[in-house]
Structures are given as structure tokens and as C-alpha cells.
Chains A and B, each alone.
Chain A
């Protein structure tokens, strides 16, 4: 039970939470009259059985990684960015806009340009709450939530007014900006897998490097831990709060580009939020706000969501059960206190 304390806790607590989440999900299936063994076998097959589902899982992971990084990055600086969803939407729109407006560019120029535009849009969107927090101490949770709604409606209005094509959506972006890849599609049995995965991994490496290897990361972490000591040390606290939000927003915007340039190649008028931004909160939590953790947590959540489809068709278990399992996993991570308590009991008495 030593594994639940100290440096191992960031690994063992999520693993144990996943196991407990699956267990509780199984119990709920039993109570609801489904066979959990059949269901989980179908779920597992739905993640690993063929190249198509593997491709789909990785595609599902891609925006999750970036939105998870966005949440985790802000969190490292002591900020709670609930506005990843909105930043993702403006990023998505910006990437599609650049994808539509520029013609005749080489993909080597056009793709990065579109991703940078998306990151920039997300950054600008996140700058507003960051600035309000730094300058007027307005709580970022409130402002980022509000900015989500502003983003949703502004993005819809822009599409309707300037970019509308038949079907309540924009036109398809130019091929030169697309992350889609016939090669990746062909090796994965025509899944929607695209090159965005590479971008997400690069994003994770950037986050890790920025936080742990640079003076900027040192300042951001210092401000996150103790703003008084940071001020004493001559670090500009206000500037770092804004910077943290801006970088976080850039990751979120890039997540939007994954949808705009990769999975879809266009943007529809949104009836509601995508949910990817909110899932990013869960991913960051499960991944202990670390770059590698976020990638692994995204793999789990992406896999569960894709596997759920197979679970439904093979075992007739509704996909909502996977939502419950995910919710339970988050519940157990968040209540790691409970897990510590149980482990203390076990270590003292030898049994529960």
C-alpha cells in the first residue's frame, strides 16, 4: 500500500480508479440486466479488434489530448480554465477560415498557418479571462464559462453570416490545409484517422518542455504554487497569469483545428457544445496534469468512447453506460482521499 503514497500516487491512484470505475460499471450492468463480461469483451474488442477501431480511437484521442493539455497547463499555474470548449470552437472556426480563404499554398505552409491561426484564436479568447483575472481579480472560472457561450453563438453567427454552405455548415476546406490522409485511412480500413495525431503529440512535448525546461515554465509554476514568493523573487505575477491563460487557450484552439482540418474538414453550425473541451478537464485530472498522463488518459477515454459503439451493437448495452464508467473513474480520482483512507485501513488492519 506504499504505492498509494508519495511519488507513485500519480500513477497508482488513476490506475486503481480506472479499475474501480470498470467494476462499478459492471455492477450497474448486472443490476440493469446486462452481462458485464460480454459487454466488456465487446468494449475491448471495439478498441483493439481491428485496424479500423484503432484508427478511430487515435482520431478520437487527438483533440482530447490538446484540450487536456490546455486544462493541465492552466492548472499548473493555479488557474482553472473551464473555457477550453469555447477556445476550441473559435480555434476550429479560425482553422477552417484559413483553410478556406488561402488557395494555392503548399500544405507545408498552409497546414501550419491554419493551426497557428487556430491557436492564436484560442489564445485571444483565453486572454480576456486571463487579463480580467490579473488586472481586476475576476475569478477565471466564471469568466471562462461565460466566454464559452459567447464563443458558441459568435461562431455560429459568423458561419451563418459569412461562410454558410448548404447543410448549415461551411464549405469543405482546401485540400492543401487538410490533415486528412488517404494513406492513414487506407492502412486503418478507412477510419477517419488523420495526421492531427502527430500535432497532438508535438503539443504534449511542447507542454512538457515549456513547463519543466524553460525559465518561463519555472515562473509559471512558481506563480501557480505561491504568488507571494514569486512576487518577492521579482517575477511579474500578473503577466504570468495572462501568459498561462494564453498558452492554455492556444492548446485549446489547436484542439479545434484537429476537428476543422482533420476529422471533418469543415465546421457546422453548432446546436450545442462539442464536449471535447469539458472532457479535457477529466483528462487532465486523470492524467495528473502531466503531459504523458494527459496522453495516456486521452487514450483511455478515446478508447472507451469508440469501444462503446461496439458494446452497443454486439452486447446491446447502451453507450451511456460508458459515460457512467468514465464518470465513475473521475469520481474515484477526485476522491483519491477516499482511496487513501481505504488503503490506510488495509495497511493497519491487514484487511478491510
Chain B
């Protein structure tokens, strides 16, 4: 069998950590080869080695049977390797064509020949069924379209081996379907694809073979047709994974959070939370289902004191906490796993230890009379790191250096450890792999079982259905329906989220 790319026994070390250890990846011509691993398993490192951004300590790379030394991305480009990055590298103000030719501009009489380039771009776009308008500006086109521009960019440069780095993370379900069609089209035109992902469903759907890495070590390569999701998951995580959540029926008691007639305006003075009523009782998980932008963010910000409520009231254990300052809210017993962990959840340049005391640094034993006690801060961090299995070289490591899943675990450790009466979890598993998702869901259920109230906000219906005891559907700033997960379906929720009125069970169309 001829391999277009063969990476043999690759080893890459960083100070204090072996990111890749003895990993072998063989890409056949014309296949979609998935690279599966948890967050921080070393997938990106391996691809950066292939792309010439890192030099491996050990191992060989062969491209089309010839041993090569990829010293920088230019060499990779010359070898026909192209990377479609997860975070797009596009100039917003430029057109599609201008972005594609950037750094590789065709010239005529000393001037950039945009017209010729646009024609070429259009031709390639047609050939692979990408349907991209070469003259549209990047800022005017959708995320899915931007991704296709990234694909076009690699094709324009003559790539026939394409690396897709977590391509579906930013796409809507419809866009994902379109992307899959495009990938299949690329294969039929003779390209080979490496697909980096931790989403098992997509692997089953598009890839031919799958190489799994776990904690930097190559576990093996399997034919997708001969395996299933459970096997892949256990290869990735190293043990059996529960997709369904083990939980007993909820046993709710008194009302912990009581929201009545709440109105919150966004920055443009539009009342995005508009007369909301909601209650969360201790010992239950209430999931808020809704399409992004129906007031979820503003609701959380109002509860946690980050945004002023226009009118209405928020009560915590019977006490009115409306428009309290964030610190007072936190101290009165609210834990908050924020939606954007980089913006709100962590100070990325602080060490993990310093991040673990973000809301408690001014209290004993972490400080006394305004003087920090680093040894007790670091002791606390060490015990949380151990208890919540945060994988980090040490508690002194900057939060920035951790993978997304471990950053999220650190936040969850910090928030749950404060033992809040109400735990708000906003998209707690976004961008995480199955192992981390399972862990986080189990922690939320554990808190519920301890008699805490949990408010879960998620755009993933599967998560809402699996974790919640009650589901509150949010639409245009109001709770339009409250349903039990066992009495509804994803289809019905989808309709409710789009503003349809609820009918009696069985009548939904």
C-alpha cells in the first residue's frame, strides 16, 4: 500500500511534558483519515510537526515515499500539504480572492493581477463544488463560507494533502452537512485528508480510517467500517465511556433561585430579557434550552451582577439579590461556570494556582491583613488539581498553557469547591471531548444530589435532554414552556425554541 504521508515514531517534547511519544500516522492516497484524541492529547502538536511548525526530537516523515525534512511551513506547502486552521487566518476587509492570493500574488506588469486570480479562484471553486463568490468581502460572508475560503486557499496553492483542524467546531448543523459533502468531493478529485477531531459521530460518518492518540501516545489505527463509537471512545479515553448519564430521579425541595418579571437590556438598550419568570429549586437541574441570542447571556449576567436588571427581581434563598455587585452575589452563594472561559473564567496569564482563588484570594487562609499566603494558595490548588484531575505540569503553570478541557476542569473545580447553593453552568462542555464531558456532567449531577440548585444553559439539545430534570425553553427573553425531558423530544424542543406554542403531548407536528 502506498502512503502519501507516513509519520513514523514521532516524538516531540516540550519542557516538562512529552506531547507526542512514538506516534505513527499513515495516510493513504484518497482517504479521509481521522486523528482522534482528547483535548490536549497531542493532535495539534503532531499536525504542527507535519506542517513544519515544530521539529520532532525523534521519528521520520515520508511524503509520497520519500523521506523529507519539513523545517518550516513553506516546505510543507511545497510538498503539497495544506492546513485548514480552526481559527481562520483571513483579513476581514479583503475580498475572498485577495485573501487567497495573499503572500502568493500573481502579477502582471508589476501590478497584482486580481482579475486573473479571481478567475482562477472561481474555477477551483467550481471544480470542487465550493460555490464561493471570489469578490465577496470576508466580513460579509458566513463562518461556513469563510471556512471554504480557507479550503480554497490551500487548493489554490496546489495542496493535495489537506489537514482539517477541528473543522466543525464553529459550524451550524447545516454547514456541517455541507462540509461533509465538500470533503467527499475533494476525495473524489484525488485529494487526501487528515481530519483532526474529537467528535465521534463525524468520524463514523466521513472517515475511512482513524488513528487514536491518548496522552501523547499513539494507541493505534482502525478501519472505521469495522468499529463503532463506543470502541473509539474507549480507545480515546482509555476506559469505557458512558454516553448516557447515570442519575436518579430528582428530589427537589425549597426554591433556591426565584426570578420574577425580570427585564434586562443589552448594550443597545433592547430588552433582551423581557419579563422572565423562572424558579430553580435545590436538588434539581434546570436546563435552559434556546437558540443563541434569546437572552441567555444577559440572564446569567443579571443573576451574577455583571449586568444591571432594568426591572423585576432575582431572589436567592428568599433574599432579594437584584443588582447586587458581583462579589456580594458570589459571597451569597452563587457559583458560575461562565460561557467564555477565556474572557471571564480565567486570567490566562495567572498561574493555575492563582486562578483557583480568583474569588477567594482576599479571605483566610489565602491571605491575612492584605498579605497573600502563597503556600496555602498553592496547597489549595494542588488538592483541587488532584481531585478534579486537571492535567497540568504544576500548579505554577500559567492557565494559558493548558488545554481547553483542563482549563474548564480548573474552573469547575474552583466553582464547585466554593460549595455554592446555586451553580450556574453556561455551556460547560463546549469544545470538550467525551471524557471531559462525561466528567463535567457527572459533577453537575453530583452537586444536585448534594441538594444544590443547578441552572444549565446550553445550545446543545442532547446535553439539555440528558442532564436536566426540568427544561425551560427560552424564546425572545421569556420562558415559553417548561417541560420534563422524559415527556418531550428534541423535535418538540426545536419547535418550542423557534417560538411555536406547545400542544398537548402527541399533537406536535
Contacts and interface: CB of A to CB of B under 8 A. Distances in A.
A226 B354 CA distance: 13
A33 interface: no
Interface stretch (A192-200, A229-237, A251-259, A312-320): A229-237
Given A214-B371, A215-B361, A348-B55, A230 B330 contact: no
Given A6-B15, A215-B370, A229 B325 contact: no
A225 B326 CA distance: 19
B388 interface: no
B91 to A, nearest CB: 20
Interface string B318-362: 000000011111110000101000011111111000100011011
A228 interface: yes
A234 B350 contact: no
Given A215-B361, A218-B354, A232-B306, A226 B347 contact: yes
Contact of B350 (A215, A216, A222, A231): A222
Interface residues of B, number: 32
A234 B326 CA distance: 5
A215 B55 CA distance: 42
A215 B349 CA distance: 17
Interface residues of A, number: 20
A229 B358 contact: yes
B368 to A, nearest CB: 10
Interface centre among B304, B338, B358, by most A CB within 10 Å? B358
Contacts, number: 68
Interface centre among B72, B347, B354, B362, by most A CB within 10 Å? B347
Nearest to A230: B347
B367 interface: yes
Contact of B343 (A6, A229, A233): A229
A233 B359 contact: yes
Contacts of A351: none
Given A213-B372, A232-B306, A232-B336, A225 B71 contact: no
Nearest to A212: B372
A222 B348 CA distance: 10
B347 A231 contact: no
B345 A213 contact: no
B326 A215 contact: no
Interface string A270-311: 000000000000000000000000000000000000000000
B330 A213 contact: no
Given A6-B15, A213-B371, A234 B347 contact: no
Given A229-B358, A234-B326, A234-B359, A214 B372 contact: yes
23 contacts: A214-B370, A215-B361, A215-B362, A215-B367, A221-B350, A225-B350, A226-B343, A226-B348, A226-B349, A229-B345, A229-B347, A231-B326, A231-B344, A232-B304, A232-B306, A232-B326, A232-B345, A233-B359, A234-B327, A234-B328, A234-B331, A348-B71, A348-B72
Given A229-B347, A234-B325, 10 more contacts: A215-B361, A215-B362, A221-B350, A222-B347, A226-B348, A229-B344, A232-B344, A234-B326, A234-B330, A235-B327
